[in-house]
Amino acid sequence: MSRPMLILTVALAAYALLNAAASIVVALAWRSRIARHPHASPVIRARRLLWLRASSSIWPAMLSLGVVTPAFAIFEPDRPSEVAGPVIIGLALVGSIQIAFSLGIALAAALRTRAAARTWLQGSVQLNLDPPAGVPAYVIDAVAPIVALVGAFRPKLVAARSVIEACTPAELAAIVAHERGHLYSRDNLKRLLLACAPDALRWTATHQQIAAAWNAAAEDAADDAATPGDAASRVDLAALLIKIARLTPQRVWPAATISPFVEPQELDRRVRRLLEGEAACSNRGSRRVTSTLLIAVTLAVAGLAQPASLKRIYDLVEALVGLGR
């Protein structure tokens, strides 16, 4: 195996091994309930759940590309070729499959979203709302009464003509305010990132549970953005959710980067929360926790990047390269 190919193999193998370890840590944290933040505001819950889910792929990627691979490249003798053992080749294959599968999911989601948007926007009419939607909005002649924010990078708000005709201007404003909350939080992009995380965790029930918890927090945050501290608005929004749900008896859009106004599986929980008048908690401290975590990881990476540490890491990797040959 040539030197460049060996370095690439080490990088992929290190990623596979580290993300397996990180996935176990995330799963244990989730099962122990220490990462669920039940009393935090929806904004904080959504942000922390996103970081929790992403940590099983972000930190392994940082350590693999920022520490393990450079350590191997620095200390590995410059020789024409070296025979790699089956263990590191197997790990590299696992890492390659995880990354390829992730890219495939991202591509499939992009294609489904594009196909859905193209179908819905055929013959559509631009919708001018007051207050403005803050994003291109369209009335569509869909069979199903759809209301959704579509797309991750250039989102569009689509609403079926049947919904527009069934809602009052105040109700349309509430729908726009909710979807604007998703827009400003870039929830469709986050939904895509959650769906295509390249790690071992995605093959477990924990992945689905964290993704569902994030989705619930994101919906709650958008509801709070549409009803900022107003009890009457929360009651009106709860009634509107039931009204739209009756128009939309089942989910009829493809799984893609789409934030629908009503999801049947979330309806009961959202209505109860709005009617119970759950007060929005303060969002202070969320960015501080994130910044502290990033600083801690950066310091850990910097500590591992010391020459003595790099040499020990190289020795471990070299042993792994020769394992089984």
DSSP 8-state class, residue 84? P
- According to the model, what pLDDT value does residue 253 have? 57
Q: Which residue has tokens 């909350």?
A: 181
The alpha-helical segments, DSSP class H, found in 227-263 are: 231-247
Query: 143-182 as b/e, with b when 16 or more CB fall inside 10 Å?
Result: eebbbbbbbbeebbbbbbebbbeebeeebbbbbbbbbbbb
Beta-strand pair 258-260/147-150: antiparallel
β strands within the chain, DSSP E: 125-126, 137-140, 147-150, 156-160, 258-260
Instruction: Name the CA radius of gyration of the chain, rounded.
Output: 24
- According to the model, what pLDDT value does residue 305 have? 66
3-state DSSP assignment of residue 158: strand
Q: Which residue has tokens 């392994």?
A: 60
Read off the tokens for 256.
Answer: 């893609």
Q: How many Cα atoms sit within 13 Å of 189 on the Cβ side? A: 8
* Domain boundaries, given as residue ranges, for the chain: 3-322
How many Å apart are CA 233 and CA 207, to the nearest integer? 34
| pTM, to two decimals | 0.86
SS (H, E, C) 40-53: CCHHHHHHHHHHHH
Query: Residue 305: CB partners within 8 Å, gap ≥ 6?
Result: 66, 67, 70
- According to the model, what pLDDT value does residue 162 have? 87
- According to the model, what pLDDT value does residue 250 have? 57
Average pLDDT along the chain, 325 residues, taken 10 residues at a time: 90 95 92 75 91 91 90 85 88 95 92 87 83 83 83 89 89 91 92 90 91 93 90 92 79 68 88 79 53 66 72 89 79
Q: Which residue has tokens 């991202």?
A: 106
- According to the model, what pLDDT value does residue 230 have? 83
Strand partners, 156: 150
Sheet holding 258-260, edge to edge: 125-126, 137-140, 156-160, 147-150, 258-260
- According to the model, what pLDDT value does residue 304 have? 66
How many Å apart are CA 49 and CA 319, to the nearest integer? 36
- According to the model, what pLDDT value does residue 120 have? 86
Read off the tokens for 168.
Answer: 């009052």
